[in-house]
Amino acid sequence: MSGEQLGPWAAALWTLAGMLVIAALAPLMEGLIRKLRARIHSRQGPPITQPYLDLAKLLIKEDLRVSPSVLLRMGPLVFLAAMLLAGGLIPLWPTGEHAYGGDAIVFAYLLALATGSVIITGLASRSPFSVVGASRETVMMAGTEPTLVLSLLVVAVNAGSLRFTDLAGFQLAAGTELSVIVAAVAYVLALQVLVARIPFDIAEAETELMGGPFTELSGPSLALCKLAMYTKPLIFSLLFLQVFLPWLGAAVPWAWLQPIVVLAAVFLLNLLAVGVIDALNPRLRVDQAVGYMAAVAVIAITAMAYAALAPH
């Protein structure tokens, strides 16, 4: 059974549930990454619940706005809403009787909307640092969007559908297609850039630009943006597992256990890949990142070309 059998209200509820799960777990993920970083730094590190406390503290502070512009008020809201909704579209059960899930194109649009609102927030803040940060964010988006979309499309072309449930279903049924493997490689290489962690946290580079697009935010606006940033590792790793490696979830015999195992795997992947790479590298310059992103995009394009041209 696929998500098509779920009515629109049920699908909406499942999506909302997914959003809440991501919102609730994102600070925990951040806390664990910080703990790992601390361990590599030979220190104790803050408790893993620290990000929750940070957000709570920010929420009760004054939201000092540098301009009355409505863009500045809406920017952080749209950023968080778009990220959470995109995350909610990723199925926790890609197949089976509870399957629900969104559309790859809608997902990509929501991410673009999220990045767009970051850029607008940076520009509306009018500080020299936030403007440079916004311009860097634009460059980063232009560099990773193609890879993300292409790698998803490769699976879509093979599966004949854009829905996440169908992509997962294709993977489970068909096994390993070469083009999909290459697309998966491109996605993994792009992961660190997508989650915007070192060496690719270039837009927000603290020691170069204070806070990048978020420099002038404070209080609740800042809390919303921080939470949105915390969701990135969760969302992109979850997407990777559910679309490219759905066998993990499918292998779990009990339906209620599937999302737990999948999320545990997401946490592990983030710690071992995102966290370790984040701790052991300096930040790259934006032009150096462009070179890297271009190379990864070439891999994605190759996968796409093969998928489009090869008979299936």
Q: Can you give the binding site for other proteins, defined by CB under 8 A? A: 37, 39-44, 64-67, 126-129, 132, 135, 198-199, 201-202, 205-208, 210, 276, 279-288
**Least distance (Å) from other proteins to the CB of residue 120?**
18
CA-closest candidate to residue 221, choices 40, 47, 64, 38 = 64
214 Cβ contact list (under 8 Å, min separation 6): 121, 122, 130, 133, 204, 222, 225, 226
Quick one: 5 or 67, whose CB is closer to other proteins? 67
Q: To which residue do tokens 């997902």 refer?
A: 107
Quick one: 33 or 156, whose CB is closer to other proteins? 33
Q: To which residue do tokens 């927030």 refer?
A: 121
Quick one: 172 or 279, whose CB is closer to other proteins? 279
Quick one: 110 or 296, whose CB is closer to other proteins? 296
**Least distance (Å) from other proteins to the CB of residue 30?**
16
Q: At what angle do helices 8-40 and 50-59 cross, to 10 degrees?
A: 110
Quick one: 110 or 286, whose CB is closer to other proteins? 286
* CB neighbours of residue 78 within 10 Å: 20
CB 171 within 8 A of CB 180: yes
Quick one: 105 or 139, whose CB is closer to other proteins? 139
**Least distance (Å) from other proteins to the CB of residue 196?**
12
CA-closest candidate to residue 159, choices 179, 187, 182, 186 = 179
CA-closest candidate to residue 198, choices 34, 78, 76, 46 = 34
CB 225 within 8 A of CB 80: yes
CB 252 within 8 A of CB 258: yes
**Least distance (Å) from other proteins to the CB of residue 68?**
10
Distance (Å, whole) CA 124 – CA 101: 34
**Least distance (Å) from other proteins to the CB of residue 294?**
15
Quick one: 59 or 66, whose CB is closer to other proteins? 66
**Least distance (Å) from other proteins to the CB of residue 54?**
18
Q: To which residue do tokens 């969760």 refer?
A: 234
**Least distance (Å) from other proteins to the CB of residue 44?**
5
**Least distance (Å) from other proteins to the CB of residue 162?**
36
Quick one: 176 or 207, whose CB is closer to other proteins? 207
Q: To which residue do tokens 């490219």 refer?
A: 244
